[in-house]
């Protein structure tokens, strides 16, 4: 399918406005300190890059990769594929994820990162599909709450495709 045929759920302008508001909110919650963003590859990349560019003050970043979806339904299995370059001891950590669906990935991630003794650990997700939750998970900052639709674009993929769409679209 050509990307031109993917219907829009969240247009670019709405993404930009919401991400800017989230950046300001996150900074307001930790005004004078460094914020250490952990981007979950690869879906969180566009969100992270817009988020940090909309933010004032000191920021550092690190990246990790977890096993992701095969197709459109979660296997429920989470695997660490690439670990962080830096430790988290004493840092104000913010996890940056594309979407929280069943919650299994984020739950796993929060557990392993909390064990590394950050000063604070918070989570920012661009999207949330609450009707799909299998496990309760705390998310501090949510961009948009959406229905149970499979979405692509702005970093989110279907079998590695469509990450480059500049908006969030629905795959039918």
- Site residues for ligand IMP per CB under 6 A: 43, 68-69, 74, 97-106, 150-152, 156
Question: In this structure, what token pair is assigned to residue 60?
Answer: 């550092």
Q: Could you tell which of ligand IMP, Mg ion, none binds residue 74, using a CB distance below 5 to 8 A set by kind?
A: ligand IMP
The active-site residue, picked from 50, 101, 140, 148, is 101
CB proximity list for 130: less than 8 A, separation 6 or greater: 145
153 counts as binding Mg ion under rule CB under 5 A: no
Strands of the sheet containing 168-170, edge to edge, are 8-10, 168-170, 151-152
Q: How far is the CB of 124 from ligand IMP (least distance, A)?
A: 13
Q: How far is the CB of 165 from Mg ion (least distance, A)?
A: 16
The question of whether 50 is a catalytic residue gets the answer no
Alpha-carbon 109 to chain mean position: 12
Q: How far apart are CA 71 and CA 54, in angstroms?
A: 32
Q: How far is the CB of 122 from ligand IMP (least distance, A)?
A: 17
1 burial class (0-12, 13-18, 19+ CB within 10 angstroms)? Answer: exposed
The owner of tokens 């952990």 is 38
Q: Could you tell which of ligand IMP, Mg ion, none binds residue 100, using a CB distance below 5 to 8 A set by kind?
A: ligand IMP
Q: How far apart are CA 4 and CA 38, in angstroms?
A: 32
Interaction pattern, residues 15-44, with Mg ion; x per rule: CB under 5 A: ----------------------------x-
Binding site for Mg ion (CB under 5 A): 43, 98
Active-site residue set: 101
């Amino acid at each position: 399918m050509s990307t031109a045929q993917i219907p829009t759920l969240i247009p670019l302008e709405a993404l930009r406005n919401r991400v800017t508001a989230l950046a300001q909110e996150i900074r307001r919650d930790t005004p004078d300190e460094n914020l250490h963003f952990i981007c979950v590859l690869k879906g969180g990349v566009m969100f992270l890059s817009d988020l940090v560019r909309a933010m004032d003050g000191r920021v550092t970043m690190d990246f990790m990769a977890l096993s992701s979806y095969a197709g459109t339904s979660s296997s429920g299995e989470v695997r660490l594929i690439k670990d962080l370059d830096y430790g988290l001891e004493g840092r104000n950590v913010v996890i940056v994820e594309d979407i929280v669906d069943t919650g299994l990935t984020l739950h796993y991630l929060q557990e392993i990162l909390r064990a590394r003794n950050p000063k604070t650990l918070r989570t920012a997700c661009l999207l949330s599909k609450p009707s799909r939750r299998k496990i309760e998970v705390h998310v501090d900052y949510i961009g948009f709450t959406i229905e149970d639709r499979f979405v692509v674009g702005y970093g989110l993929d279907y079998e590695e495709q469509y990450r480059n769409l500049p908006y969030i679209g629905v795959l039918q």
